[in-house]
Structure 1
Amino acid sequence: MKLFIIDYDQDDPKKCTGKKLVRLGFAKLTKHEMGIVLDPFSRTTLSIDDKELALKEGITALDASWNIINEKTFIKKNTHRRLPVLFAGNPTHYAIAYKLSTLEALASALYILDEVNEAMKLLNTIKWGHTFLELNKEILEAYRGRKEKEILKVEKEIIDKILGLNPFS
């Protein structure tokens, strides 16, 4: 699957997972949104229904600082999708919901689209990739290959459990 990075040069180049993916040949730099754009502000959640488009046109991730990024950062020309709740394994945002690195976001998208081997290749390029997987393995498996409605149900159960709203958890 083709992976693209729009790099805003806002992170330390030595810690930037987007730049690392480009250096290792897993992704290409672009200035344009290509295929599915991972957008944390999108109202639509990535699901297996997006796989055909992702295979055909690829997935784009924006590599920008969480301190600067906002809804206006995204052009909204292409198919934008948000990732369901997952927890960062990276040292900067460890265990914080939704605040994934570029690499974690792309690996998660691949996993959800049932491209697990490709996701694992990305996660194996960073020393904390196993941490991300340990934090999210069960959740990723629950999302894997599912339609949006099913993913939203699982996500709601996870959030309710975290907030203590699910008396059966």
Structure 2
Amino acid sequence: MENLTENIEKLEVNSSESDDESSSDSSSSEEEMQPNFQVAMWDFNQCDPRKCSGRKLARLKLIKSLKIKQKFPGLVLTPIAEKCVSPADRDVVTTKGIAVVDCSWARIDETPLAALKPSHGRLLPFLVAANPINYGKPFQLSCVEAIAATMYITGFKKEAKFYLNKFTWGHSFIELNEEILEVYSNCTDSVSVVEEQKKYIEKEQQLQRDRQKSRDFPSSSDSSDSSDSSDSD
């Protein structure tokens, strides 16, 4: 499902393998805001520190590093959760914060995620990565993309932009996913988020099929041009 939307094909991002330490100036201070709740991560030391968005946030003192077996009372983004993030999680985020697992997608099966035992474990719904490593791939978000998506869905849009704007490519994540992020942010609970995710994927798959058909069959104008050309010979 790579290149799922036309936006993915059209949008250009910085394909550098390393992150620029400077912040992006694409948004003004009025459009972003530093959160008042805690943001944390467990770092399993599986990623290249030069490319890791979680490590960069740690250097900027925008994320708290947790010990591997340290508990976190807030919302925890983990692929072994059973519920999706939804606007219903806003109170948990406000009072207890967000935590993310920093590990390699290639090594997810060997990561001891079950040991975290979160009280509020959550999955992220369908979203497309904009980071240079996994650009255009669904679900394979970087730490900062996962954190920002959670903020956006739970109603903290300015806070999401504040985190994304620490990366030169960060604005691309919102641009790629804005339509569906808005849909998710207007849902009521996890069940409705999953329902909207299904509708969106089905719609995009149909658009792909329609575009494929249009490439497979010449337009009527092409046929007319071909006929005119043969008549003049």
Q: TM-score, normalised by structure 1?
A: 0.91
Q: 1:115 to 1:16 in 2, by over 3 A?
A: same
Matches of 2:129 and 2:191, distance apart in 1: 23
Between stretches 105-114 and 150-159, larger displacement belongs to 150-159
2:114 maps to 1:74? yes
Q: Give the alignment of 1:36-51 within 5 angstroms.
A: 36-51=75-90
1:11 is matched with: 47
**How far does the alpha carbon of each residue in 1:2-53 deviate from its partner, in whole angstroms, 9 at most, with x for none?**
1001001111111110111111122110122411110123220111111111
**Contact 1:85 / 1:97 at 8 angstroms: preserved in 2?**
yes
In structure 2, runs of 5+ residues without a counterpart are: 1-36, 210-233
**How far does the alpha carbon of each residue in 1:51-100 deviate from its partner, in whole angstroms, 9 at most, with x for none?**
11111111110000000013752333421000110000011111111000
- Identity rate of aligned residues, in percent? 37
Q: Give the alignment of 1:120-131 within 5 angstroms.
A: 120-131=161-172
- Higher RCO by CA contacts (8 Å cutoff, separation 6 or greater): 2
1:133 is matched with: 174
What SS does structure 2 have at the residue aligned with 1:6?
A: strand
1:29 is matched with: 65
Q: Larger Rg: 1 or 2?
A: 2
Matches of 2:141 and 2:71, distance apart in 1: 19
In structure 1, runs of 5+ residues without a counterpart are: none
**Contact 2:76 / 2:98 at 8 angstroms: preserved in 1?**
yes
**Where has structure 1 moved over 4 Å in runs of 4 or more?**
none
84, 100, 113: which one aligns with 2:154: 113
1:156 is matched with: 198
**Contact 2:76 / 2:118 at 8 angstroms: preserved in 1?**
no
Between stretches 154-163 and 114-123, larger displacement belongs to 154-163
Matches of 1:53 and 1:163, distance apart in 2: 34
What SS does structure 1 have at the residue aligned with 2:191?
A: helix
Q: Give the alignment of 1:46-61 within 5 angstroms.
A: 46-61=85-100
2:16 is matched with: none
Root-mean-square deviation (Å): 2.1
2:133 is matched with: 92
Q: TM-score, normalised by structure 2?
A: 0.67
Matches of 1:63 and 1:160, distance apart in 2: 30
